[in-house]
């Protein structure tokens, strides 16, 4: 329930602080005084896009703050907990929020003259999306032109579903339709591949070619090394033989013999020069290295195999690998990865036909599931349509259209595919007078009739959701007299279940309010400003008399105003 609304520098309102209670609160005022500004303020606090033109002329920014009680809004409390905004916060301007866990919350928004906008929930920064989501759980605004939206068939179906509480059934229909659509898209994607037999044959041939070769990177490196050795085997034999001769000696002394001779010469002279011992140790180490080099050269020479047939085989294998690398346009070292990729593609293609068969069965099952869900939703819609028609027809009669009838026609749609909105569409039909056939609401010509019919629909459909506060902005336009008094009674009765705020120009409606605010305007320092005052006793009677009699309030108007107030209290007591 809305507890407080504070407005500063918003449109022509310099400052206003209003407190609200349960029941029906009416807001009146002269034409142009700014009665709807309170509704506009709640609209901006509900996430509407910022309009710098709403900042009062000469001010840098407009500020709007609303406080709500959450005792009758469990969904709002759950939302705050989910968003971690249920504790008291402090915004970046030092303004404290309200402790959401304690049963209250605060919405705050600033509109700057340069077009910027910022918002907070419980003192914590919030996006417009968050503001819209949260405020939708707290307040529901019905504008004076809302009946125009009721002319749209999608809006009519949405209203019927809201009235019937079909959110769960509608979600089931949407989910099954979404499943069906996803499966159809997958089938279309697979079908676009066409006949995969040729592709499978090609890939199988390529895989067989690759499978005949050892393609692991280590195996290819070893093959390259073997090929190089065979290609240069003769040179290697000659080089190792020459090196062994130089190391071991032939007709002339080799390195090993020379090292031994040098070591012997130094050993004899070492006793006279200690540093020669260090040189002798170096020669010993060199001799060891030479011995190891000779041993390794012997093994290498023994391993060298001058085998022309072996070389030809290695050469053929290398040629095949290079041909495969060129064919697949990858380096030789990447052929193994290419082979694995072909295997994966083959596996997918081989399963395509099986998957297509499975998809056909799954698509049929999804369509069947949608039909079951849509049938349940259709049954619920027909029951809700009958109830909404009965309630609205009763209200139409009470609103001065005796003999009028309201129906909700549900027409099946010839859908070729499961529709997320169900298997039918709604059309609101109205007969304004007895004996006339019902016609589509969008074809009703009279603006007054349309206003009354739309109000009857709204009153019949409202109060079934969990939103605790409902706001009406001159939805009673186009009516008057006894009908206006009935409208006021209906709104007051609705206030027994929900908090209702109503901007009205009708004294018959205003007299039904549990509380009454008046919006007035006056020039202040040459600038027009609006003010909001709470009315009680004589002030309220005077306002009702003004609404009845115009600028000059007569004694008769005051008497009529008193009767309206007394009748309102009497009607309330009777109920």
Question: Cα–Cα distances in Å, from 123 out to 40, 79, 100, 117, 215?
Answer: 22, 16, 11, 15, 66
Examine the pLDDT at 220 and tell me if it is beyond 80: no
- The contacts of residue 163 (CB under 8 Å, 6+ apart) are 384, 387, 388, 460, 461, 464
pTM over 0.95: no
Q: Is residue 6 within 8 Å of 65, Cβ to Cβ?
A: yes
Name the band, by pLDDT with cuts 50, 70 and 90, for residue 218.
Answer: low
Provide DSSP, 342-379.
HHHHHHHHHHHHHHHHHHHHHHHHHHHHHHHHHHHHHH
Tens digit of each residue's pLDDT (9 = 90 or more) over 187-217: 888 877 666 677 778 888 888 887 777 666 6
Instruction: To the nearest 10°, report the CA torsion of 256, 259, 265, 271.
Output: -120
Question: Cα–Cα distances in Å, from 341 out to 229, 347, 348, 463?
Answer: 33, 10, 11, 62
Distance CA(119)–CA(389), nearest Å, equals 41
Q: Is residue 524 within 8 Å of 505, Cβ to Cβ?
A: no
For 53, the token pair is 């033109």
Residues 367-392 have a mean pLDDT of 95
Greatest Cα pair distance, the chain, in angstroms, is: 151
Helix (H, G, I), strand (E, B) or coil at 215: coil
pLDDT at 253: 65
Q: Is residue 91 within 8 Å of 120, Cβ to Cβ?
A: yes
Give residue for tokens 């209702």: 500
Q: Which of 508, 573, 561, 504 is nearest to 26 (CA)?
A: 504
Domain ranges of the chain: 197-348
Give residue for tokens 């629909």: 457
Q: Is residue 32 within 8 Å of 521, Cβ to Cβ?
A: yes
Q: What percent of the chain has pLDDT over 90?
A: 26
Q: b/e per residue, 494-519, with b = 16+ CB within 10 A?
A: bbeebbbbbbbbbbbbbbbbbbbbbb
Question: 187 exposed, middle or buried (CB, 10 Å; 0-12, 13-18, 19+)?
Answer: middle
Examine the pLDDT at 101 and tell me if it is beyond 60: no
Tens digit of each residue's pLDDT (9 = 90 or more) over 390-419: 999 988 888 777 788 899 999 999 877 899
Distance CA(552)–CA(546), nearest Å, equals 7
Provide DSSP, 317-329.
HHHHHHHHHHHHT
Q: How far is CA 477 from the centre of its chain?
A: 38
Examine the pLDDT at 52 and tell me if it is beyond 70: yes
- The contacts of residue 289 (CB under 8 Å, 6+ apart) are none
Q: b/e per residue, 203-213, with b = 16+ CB within 10 A?
A: beebbebbeeb
Tens digit of each residue's pLDDT (9 = 90 or more) over 139-180: 888 775 566 667 788 888 988 998 999 999 999 999 999 999
Examine the pLDDT at 575 and tell me if it is beyond 50: no
Distance CA(529)–CA(322), nearest Å, equals 89
Give residue for tokens 């996430």: 47
pLDDT at 129: 92
Q: Which of 518, 517, 512 is nearest to 566 (CA)?
A: 512
Q: How far is CA 21 from the centre of its chain?
A: 35
For 18, the token pair is 């209003």
Tens digit of each residue's pLDDT (9 = 90 or more) over 227-283: 566 655 555 665 666 676 677 755 666 777 777 777 777 777 767 777 777 888 888
Residue 505 backbone phi and psi in degrees, to 5: -115, 5
Q: b/e per residue, 116-152, with b = 16+ CB within 10 A?
A: ebbbbbbbbebebebbebbbbbbbbbbbbebbeebbe
264-273, 345-354, 457-466: which is most confident: 345-354
Q: Is residue 559 within 8 Å of 44, Cβ to Cβ?
A: no
Q: What percent of the chain has pLDDT over 70?
A: 80
Instruction: To the nearest 10°, report the CA torsion of 331, 333, 339, 342.
Output: -40
Distance CA(260)–CA(262), nearest Å, equals 6
For 410, the token pair is 């549900």
């Amino acid at each position: 329930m809305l507890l407080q609304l504070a407005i500063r520098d918003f449109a022509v309102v310099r400052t206003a602080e209003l407190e609200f209670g349960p029941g029906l609160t009416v807001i009146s005022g002269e034409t142009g005084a700014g009665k709807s500004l309170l509704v506009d303020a709640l609209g901006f606090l509900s996430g509407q896009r910022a309009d710098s033109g709403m900042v009062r002329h000469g001010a840098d920014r407009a500020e709007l703050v609303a406080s709500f009680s959450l005792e009758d809004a469990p969904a709002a409390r759950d939302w705050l907990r989910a968003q971690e905004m249920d504790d008291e916060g402090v915004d970046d301007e030092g303004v404290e929020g309200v402790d959401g866990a304690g049963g209250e919350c605060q919405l705050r928004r600033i509109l700057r003259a340069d077009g910027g906008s910022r918002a907070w929930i419980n003192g914590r920064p919030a996006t417009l999306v968050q503001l819209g989501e949260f405020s939708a759980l707290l307040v529901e605004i019905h504008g004076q032109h809302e009946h125009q939206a009721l002319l749209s068939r999608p809006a009519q179906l949405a209203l019927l579903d809201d009235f019937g509480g079909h959110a769960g059934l509608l979600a089931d229909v949407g989910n099954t339709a979404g499943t069906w659509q996803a499966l159809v898209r997958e089938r279309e994607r697979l079908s676009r591949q066409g006949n995969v037999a040729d592709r499978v044959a090609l890939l199988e041939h390529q895989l067989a070619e690759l499978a005949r070769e050892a393609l692991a990177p280590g195996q290819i490196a070893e093959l390259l090394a073997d090929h190089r050795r065979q290609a240069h085997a003769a040179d290697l034999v000659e080089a190792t033989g020459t090196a062994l001769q130089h190391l071991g000696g032939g007709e002339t002394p080799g390195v090993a013999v020379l090292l031994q001779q040098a070591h012997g010469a130094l050993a004899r002279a070492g006793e006279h020069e200690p540093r020669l011992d260090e040189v002798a140790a170096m020669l010993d180490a060199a001799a060891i290295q030479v011995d190891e080099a000779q041993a390794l050269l012997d093994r290498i020479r023994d391993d060298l195999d001058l085998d022309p047939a072996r070389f030809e085989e290695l050469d053929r294998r290398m040629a095949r690998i290079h041909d495969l690398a060129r064919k697949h346009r990858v380096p030789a070292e990447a052929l193994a990865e290419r082979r694995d990729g072909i295997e994966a593609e083959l596996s997918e293609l081989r399963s395509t036909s099986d998957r297509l068969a499975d998809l056909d069965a799954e698509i049929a099952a999804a369509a069947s599931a949608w039909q079951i869900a849509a049938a349940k939703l259709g049954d619920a819609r027909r029951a809700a349509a009958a109830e909404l028609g009965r309630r609205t027809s009763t209200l139409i009669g009470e609103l001065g259209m005796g003999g009028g009838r309201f129906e909700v026609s549900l027409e099946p749609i010839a859908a070729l595919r499961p529709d997320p909105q169900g298997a039918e569409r709604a059309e609101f039909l109205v007969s304004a007078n007895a004996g006339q056939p019902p016609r589509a609401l969008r074809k009703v010509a009279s603006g007054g009739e349309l206003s009354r019919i739309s109000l009857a629909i709204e009153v019949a459909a409202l109060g079934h959701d969990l939103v605790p506060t409902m706001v009406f902005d001159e939805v009673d336009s186009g009516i008057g007299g006894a009908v206006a008094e009935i409208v006021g009674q209906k709104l007051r009765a609705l206030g027994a279940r929900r908090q209702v705020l109503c901007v009205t120009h009708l004294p018959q409606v205003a007299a039904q309010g549990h509380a009454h605010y008046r919006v007035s305007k006056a020039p202040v320092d040459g600038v027009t400003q609006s003010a909001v005052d709470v009315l009680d006793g004589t002030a309220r009677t005077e306002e009702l008399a003004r609404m009845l009699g115009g600028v000059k309030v007569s004694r008769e108007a005051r008497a009529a105003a008193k009767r309206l107030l007394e009748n309102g209290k009497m009607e309330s007591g009777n109920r």
